[in-house]
Structure 1
Amino acid sequence: MDKAARIFKVLSDETRLRIIDLLKNQSLCVNALAHFLGVTNAAISQHLRILRDANLVIGEKKGYFVHYHINEETLSEWEVIAKNLFKKSTSKEDE
């Protein structure tokens, strides 16, 4: 349950959800994310730090900028954890 709690804590912020939504389709740098979301670069950097610490996004240096994209492996792992959390138990003990 600790892992599930951490996942939902990371996802509990609307800006982080919006960042994830943008990064699902393309890699973007801090400046682009800030522009699309209408927040400061500093705020985006703070959110990206949390997402990086959770291993949900990966940064890759491209020239002068770091472009971020979703870590598909972590996303798949989180999907399984979330599904298992909400899945009804089928054991005889629960009847």
Structure 2
Amino acid sequence: MDNDKRIAEISKVLGVDTRIKIIRLLSERCLCVGELAEELGITAGAVSQHLRILRSAGAVLSEKRGYFVHYCLNENVLRSWQSEIISLFEPEEAAK
């Protein structure tokens, strides 16, 4: 997949402010759906839908802890996204 398409896909995932808020919360610590819902002031169902998209994009990892599933950031994927987004602003010769 070329870099432009990849950046467009990343932009779709990050194009919703609630997902950005989830990423910011998870950058502090791993949280379960209920904790995220409480912090964001939205339903657990809405949080689950956003987490599904973040998980399918590889940005979030899940881990079952007892009765709850906790979500954490996938730092490797987010670093890769950062690099790809930064490349968007580089001169075309440098990007090759």
Q: Normalising by the residue count of structure 1, what TM-score does the alignment of the two structures yield?
A: 0.92
Tell me if 1:83 matches 2:86.
yes
Q: CA deviation at 1:86?
A: 1.3
Structure 2: gaps (5+ residues): none
**CA distance in 1 between partners of 2:32 and 2:55 (Å):** 14
Q: CA deviation at 1:90?
A: 4.8
Structure whose CA Rg is larger: 1
Question: Which string of whole-angstrom CA distances, capped at 9 and with x for unpartnered residues, describes residues 19-58 of structure 1?
Answer: 0000011000000000000000000000000000000000
The number of aligned residues is 91
Tell me if 1:26 matches 2:67.
no
* Identical-residue share of aligned pairs (%): 48
Q: CA deviation at 1:7?
A: 0.2
Q: Deviation above 4 Å: which 4+ runs of structure 1?
A: none
3-state SS of paired residue (1:80)? helix
**CA distance in 2 between partners of 1:8 and 1:86 (Å):** 14
Structure 1: gaps (5+ residues): none
Tell me if 1:46 matches 2:43.
no
Amino acid at match of 1:76: R
Q: Normalising by the residue count of structure 2, what TM-score does the alignment of the two structures yield?
A: 0.91
